Amino acid sequence: MSGLRPNLFLVGAMKAGTSYLSGLLAAHPSVFMSSPKEPCHFVDPSALRRDWPSAWAQGYWRSAERYLSLFAAAGDAAVVGEASTVYSQLPLFAHVPERILAFNPAARFIYIMRDPIERTVSHYWHRVRWWGEYRTPLSAIRSDPRYTDVSHYARQLSVFLHCAGRERVYTLTLEALLADPVVQLQRLYAWLGVDASFQPATLGVPDNVLPNVIEQVRGFGLLDRLRRTATYHRAWPWLPRWLCRLGAHLAARPVRPFDVDTSQVAELLRPLQQRQTEELSRLLGRSFPEWRTLYTPPRELRAPTPRLIAGS
């Protein structure tokens, strides 16, 4: 590695535990992970601006110097890394492994996966909470391919395997990490070449837990967008409180994700994602019995289990 260039990239999958895993990596004394977690340096800035304006506004795509400033405090860490889930979101963001390997030919990659049905549903709730998703789960997931594209793990992984080689791409599942975190981390630390006996204090304590109640915009989200404008914020102090409360009520409604029946979503996704998982199994030479929702249809699939909006 030259200078403080990162040599480890936790590339996804979104909503599969990347925040949790990034924290476990950062806890190791020989590993340094960037903060903020998702600098998104290696994606097309125009695509980033279109799909994630707040990440674009951070500006870590502007120059290598600005990006490398994130690692200035890495000291003598053997592993220097970052975790940007947009790196494994084809077709929205393409040619990421090529850009990373041109930047650091010694780069290694970690890709964490999750039961694809649960990941897709978690992705939906993430967009409800932060992106103004107003449609029902079935309507949104049926009509918007971004939900299922991210869960097509074989497609996302294949480009990294092709560019970097199998020995430099580490894969694991969230379910395995939560079921046996000590063993899973020992294996991962050993692969990284750092002390495998180290155990983080946060082991087994996931973050990004989905709240019991979130807000979902009403209608097409027009009133919600209006109340987020600069004009509304300037006028807000002068408006009657009853009018502000009425506006908030009309703009969004409280939703309890764990009470929402998403069994129809599971029925929609299961045939597609079973085929995609067969493709993944051929690619990696292993099966995924831990993905119980994918293979064992429950009477009702509620919000993701475990209760994570993992790896934003």
Task: Report pLDDT digits (tens) over 233-276.
Answer: 565 565 576 555 655 555 567 788 888 999 999 999 999 999 99
Are 193 and 226 part of one and the same domain? no
User: Domain span at residue 85?
Assistant: 8-210+260-295
The answer to whether residue 80 sits within a structural domain is yes
Domain count, the chain: 2
List the CATH number of the domain containing 39.
3.40.50.300
Whole-angstrom CA distances from 166 to 22, 66, 158, 171, 199 are 21, 31, 10, 10, 27
Indicate if 139 and 287 belong to the same structural domain. yes
Q: What does DSSP say about strands 252-255 and 214-217: parallel, antiparallel, or unpaired? A: antiparallel
Query: CA dist 284 to 104, 212, 271, 277, 302, Å?
Result: 25, 36, 20, 10, 29
Residue 224 and residue 75 share a domain: no
Q: Which pLDDT value is given to residue 312?
A: 39
d(CA 207, CA 280): 27
Write down the pLDDT at residue 238.
Answer: 59
| Same domain, residue pair 135 and 243 | no
Q: Which of 309, 99, 114 is nearest to 206 (CA)?
A: 309
Is the separation of the CB atoms in 5 and 82 below 8 Å?
A: no
242 and 279 co-located in one domain: no
Asked whether residue 307 is domain-assigned, the answer is no
On whether both 231 and 290 belong to a single domain, the answer is no
Q: By the 8 A CB rule, do 268 and 141 touch? A: yes
Do residue 50 and residue 142 come from a single domain? yes
Predicted confidence at residue 305, as pLDDT, reads 47
CB 298 within 8 A of CB 263: yes
User: What does the pLDDT read at residue 132?
Assistant: 86
Cis peptide bond prior to 36, omega within 30° of 0: yes
Kindly state whether residues 47 and 185 are assigned to the same domain: yes
Query: Which pLDDT tens digits describe the chain residue by residue (312 residues)?
Result: 345 799 999 999 999 999 999 999 999 999 999 998 999 999 999 999 999 999 999 999 999 999 999 999 999 999 999 999 999 999 999 999 999 999 999 999 999 999 999 999 999 999 998 878 889 999 999 999 999 999 999 999 999 999 999 999 999 999 999 999 999 999 999 999 999 999 998 777 666 677 787 787 776 655 555 555 566 456 556 557 655 565 555 556 778 888 899 999 999 999 999 999 999 999 999 999 999 999 986 554 444 444 554 433
Asked whether residue 242 falls in the same domain as residue 100, the answer is no
- 311 found inside a domain: no
Do residues 17 and 147 share a domain?
Answer: yes
In a domain, residue 26? The reply is yes
User: Is 63 within the bounds of a domain?
Assistant: yes
> How much is the pLDDT for 210?
75
Q: What is the pLDDT of residue 310?
A: 42
Report the alpha-carbon distance of residue 148 to residue 272 in Å, rounded: 9
For 63, phi then psi, to 5°, come to: -160, 155
Whole-number pLDDT of residue 202: 78
Q: Are residues 79 and 133 both part of a single domain?
A: yes
Question: Which residues have C-beta within 8 Å of that of residue 210, sequence separation ≥ 6?
Answer: 122, 125, 257, 258, 303, 304, 307, 308, 309
pLDDT for 302 equals 47
In a domain, residue 222? The reply is yes
Q: Which residues of 249-273 are buried (b: 16+ CB within 10 A; e: fewer)?
A: eebbeeeebeebebeebbebbbeeb
Flag whether 96 is in a domain.
Answer: yes
User: How many other β-carbons are positioned within 10 Å of the β-carbon of residue 132?
Assistant: 16
Q: What is the C-alpha to C-alpha distance for residues 76 and 137, in angstroms, rounded to an integer?
A: 47
**pLDDT on residue 254:** 78
**Cβ pair 148, 120 in contact under 8 A:** yes
Partners of 32 in beta bridges = 80
- In-domain check, residue 1: no
Same-domain check for residues 119 and 43: yes
